């Protein structure tokens, strides 16, 4: 049996990924049609600046943050604030956290861009296995008790 190339299509369906430290994030594949359309629509007023290369990188990143908060990150579990209180998921909260904690945004964006995350789930689904995918993103926590 060969690999079905159609399984690599970008979809807006999210996958749960174990990040580490008890954090799980549900993300859709980066480049899915909903994300691409939202990013294109948000960038439209800035097309001239983009063509001329005069748009600030920070402004482009803000557009991406908003689109990722609306169309890529679809949930989380085990995310706590500094006081240890669970942070409930919402698109608005995702954007707020992305702006306040750029490393969190980077983690979500990197996971969503890893085709292997989605390919593994597609292969597991085909085999009847629905285990969560784990990625090698370090949270900086040590698991060594020495």
Residue 140, pLDDT > 50, answer no
Residue 111, pLDDT > 90, answer yes
Element (H, E) at 21: none
Percent of the chain with pLDDT over 90: 44
**Looking at the domain assignment, is residue 3 inside a domain?**
no
Question: Residue 45: its pLDDT value, please?
Answer: 79
pTM for the full model? 0.70
Q: Report which DSSP code applies to 78.
A: S
**Looking at the domain assignment, is residue 2 inside a domain?**
no
* Residue range of the domain that includes 40: 16-134
**Looking at the domain assignment, is residue 55 inside a domain?**
yes
**Looking at the domain assignment, is residue 143 inside a domain?**
no
**Looking at the domain assignment, is residue 146 inside a domain?**
no
How many angstroms separate the Cα of 101 from the Cα of each of 22, 94, 106?
Answer: 18, 10, 9
* Calpha distance 57→24 (Å, rounded): 29
**Looking at the domain assignment, is residue 117 inside a domain?**
yes
**Looking at the domain assignment, is residue 98 inside a domain?**
yes
Whether 25 and 18 have beta carbons less than 8 Å apart is answered as no
Q: How many CA atoms lie within 13 A of 80 on its CB side?
A: 8
Question: Residue 23: its pLDDT value, please?
Answer: 96
Residue (of 38, 11, 12, 21) closest to 134 by Cα position: 21
Whether 15 and 7 have beta carbons less than 8 Å apart is answered as no
**Looking at the domain assignment, is residue 25 inside a domain?**
yes
What are 25-79's pLDDT values in tens digits?
999 998 888 998 998 898 887 777 777 888 777 878 888 899 999 999 999 999 9
Residue 125, pLDDT > 60, answer no
Number of domains in the chain: 1
Mean pLDDT value across the chain: 80
């Amino acid at each position: 049996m060969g690999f079905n190339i159609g399984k690599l299509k970008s979809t807006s369906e999210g996958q749960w990924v174990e990040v580490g430290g008890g954090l799980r994030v549900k993300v859709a594949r980066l480049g899915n049609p909903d994300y691409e359309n939202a990013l294109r629509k948000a960038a439209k007023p800035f097309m001239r600046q983009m063509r001329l290369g005069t748009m600030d990188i920070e402004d482009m990143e803000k557009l991406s943050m908003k689109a990722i908060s609306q169309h890529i990150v679809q949930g989380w579990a085990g995310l706590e604030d500094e006081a240890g209180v669970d942070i409930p998921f919402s698109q608005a909260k995702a954007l707020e956290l992305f702006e306040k904690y750029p490393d969190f945004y980077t983690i979500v964006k990197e996971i969503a861009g890893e085709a292997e995350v989605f390919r593994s789930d597609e292969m597991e689904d085909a085999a009847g296995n629905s285990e969560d995918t784990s990625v090698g993103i370090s949270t900086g926590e040590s698991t060594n008790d020495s």
